[in-house]
Structure 1
């Protein structure tokens, strides 16, 4: 995802409060004084759903809202399209205050701007798969031929070509969820709201649906607000993640921020069991490339080397990373001919690692190498380095949690 900070956010949530009960406005002073959710419930019979939520969501990002049940995440998503009205606060979509829309404008907004994908699929059992997908367009009064053509196209996109005439009951759970996704996409809504959309699915199907969503998003660039209670799912699909607890917003950040810098004990408890080697890429933990040699001659290279505190450096030319050079070898070569071109010097070959690789895949190579491994991008340009010490630091918490008191491992995952 590109950096969108200079653009106005697509959605802005400002000081949002939701109190459930008969007289929420009377309870608001207690909420703002900081009384706990339990105290307010005991004293007034009112439930605090959301408290002082401030969020910016940018165009084209998958924004995940996560928390345990009762954290307020489903309450929050239902505010976006005003299925629930807030007790206080503003919801702005493209600068328009959704609270100020009249019933006709709100209807248009829901039909054209936002589409929702539910946990339990929400399909109409008496309508065919094609009619279910085309439903949003029929509500928009699109003619039958056009809406069926579009619905057929979306069914193909989600891998259900040939299922048009089937009925929902004839499909598996995963297929039904694909129909739900196709129906939401078919309306051309810019914003997709997905409330626990994959949590009713078997783990394997769920994983496939996550992959499909990530793939679709590469072409669609929709703004997707995705609710889940599952941190692995959040880390896998989210560009950014917001974590809620008891109606409070605890932390917002990119997956790597949440994983490596949890804001408090609550978030830390969430991330403790995450398989870090599978969740983090090299790019998220690499260090800047410390020392480069760019000289044309051996003599110049040695001068560059002496200016740096280490006794090794990466040799880089216009063609990108070439290998690693040790100071001793340069000192030896200079005695023969200090004006010899560097391209004649035998650099030590070292296989670079990709910045997109998962840590899991590079653990053996990093641990076997005495020197930090060079990290390159898709063009072969040097972007950073990863040493075994640094990798061990990043992974130590993860592996230490798997270790018993006697120092033995619970499982066989002991590659260090």
Structure 2
């Protein structure tokens, strides 16, 4: 196991500038006004839908409309984008893309009526993902791009991860002197926002009948009816200055990488896929098998794979590990944190040494310490959690990592016991 090393150097988002004016005349005795410091936050609101007491079905219908629009729209033609977007989990065939509502991830959230859950819609773009993984395949665990649909009982909200923030927080190990990758992050933000709002406005896209062949469609009122909304650009979650990113975040490690060898060479698209499937098999997909398959996982965790198959991202395979218990604890701090879930595990053949089969996990300590920075304190001050729960949160990252390590270790035993964990470099 190793913490992926950082190349301490230039940080990509050069647009994060410290701004302000002093502008005092020589006769002025007034102190100069404080400089305004620009900040960046990981979470952004896209739209607010006025709908009180939204049910689980209401939340799913909104997410479903977004996913169908992306699935059935040629973004290059309709939106003049440079490349197509797809929904994670959607299958591609001769007739195009298709998906089912099972491709939307239900995650417990705070405030929903009738026991409803949020839905996570995951956007993937092969062109942009390739640019990200070309900087190092271990970066794959920072993908794909999550959009959440959730309710607080008063409104339905659509939020997304701020790609500019994700790039600045999770890609501090790379140099971007021309700003090309920074521009990609900005394009991701603009394109996902445009697609979400276009989906809400749309009255033409029809529902795919997934029980039949590609291309067969049905009319569906919930898909072809526009949904009124108010656009939002609200920034949520912790706020980081460029100085903090340069001097604090860049010194931390978002990725924990396990490297395995067995004396053989590995093939991208074959061995990474098979190992990823072994990780999914170890967890199961029902939140129950985990206790039999992986002895020692934390009580009540209910870990499961969000999907029965790995997500294929250029050069890597992504497994999404979900725990209802820990997701509930995370969203108790606020639904804005939904898009930081689930836990991403990436399997890949090392691009510089194909005798290494690697697993990259987003570090739970980095995630809780950075993406949830200040959330526990704010929840305690607001009376949403008590002092006993504060203590529970203080150990949560370590518990989650211990569980994920057990899952990966068990998958190694099941898949190929000859795989040996390489020592730290």
| TM-score (normalizing by structure 1) | 0.25
Q: Which is higher, the Rg of structure 1 or of structure 2?
A: 1
If asked which structure has higher relative contact order (CA below 8 Å, sep 6+), I would say 2
Q: TM-score, normalised by structure 2?
A: 0.25
